[in-house]
Chain A
Amino acid sequence: MKGEADAPMCGFSAATVQILKGLNAPFKSVNILANPDIRQALPEYSNWPTFPQLFISGQLIGGCDIVHELRDSGELQKLIDSALGR
């Protein structure tokens, strides 16, 4: 994401963090603005052009739009629960 979880530097990153917090999902964030090598390498690795990128159990779930859509459908909660073994 752009910025830190408690100080996002972009509206899309902020919205994605809000959703995770709203679902009480424990997560770690990486600030790509402070890690230019990751910023450059990740889109190629994940085949996804923009940030933020949400990974659950090593699997790319999506960016801000997809995270919103999956939250609204309840799918994101299911993915988080199964990752946490709930």
Chain B
Amino acid sequence: MFSTEEIESILDKALPGAVAAAVDLTGTADHFEVRVSWSGFQGKSLIEQHQIVNRALKLPLEDGRIHALKIKTMAP
């Protein structure tokens, strides 16, 4: 179990100045979609951008609190 607020706050801290919005896709607090806009994504490939988001959320992803995470990234 995790919350959209926790996801957003972790990303806010890990990626300074990022705008992150998480959605609980299934209402079960473990399948999420997160949209992240961050200037640090500039010049990086999509895979690198997603790896940055995965790395920030490594702990809840690894211990299973987040079971599935759909990621959408963009550079503003």
Contact = CB atoms under 8 A, between A and B. Distances in A.
Contacts, number: 19
Interface residues of A, number: 10
Contacts of A65: 50, 70-71
Interface string A54-71: 000000111001100110
A35 interface: no
Interface of B: 46-47, 50-51, 54, 61, 70-71
Interface of A: 47-49, 60-62, 65-66, 69-70
19 contacts: A47-B51, A48-B47, A48-B51, A48-B54, A49-B54, A49-B61, A60-B47, A61-B47, A62-B46, A62-B47, A62-B50, A65-B50, A65-B70, A65-B71, A66-B46, A66-B47, A66-B50, A69-B46, A70-B46
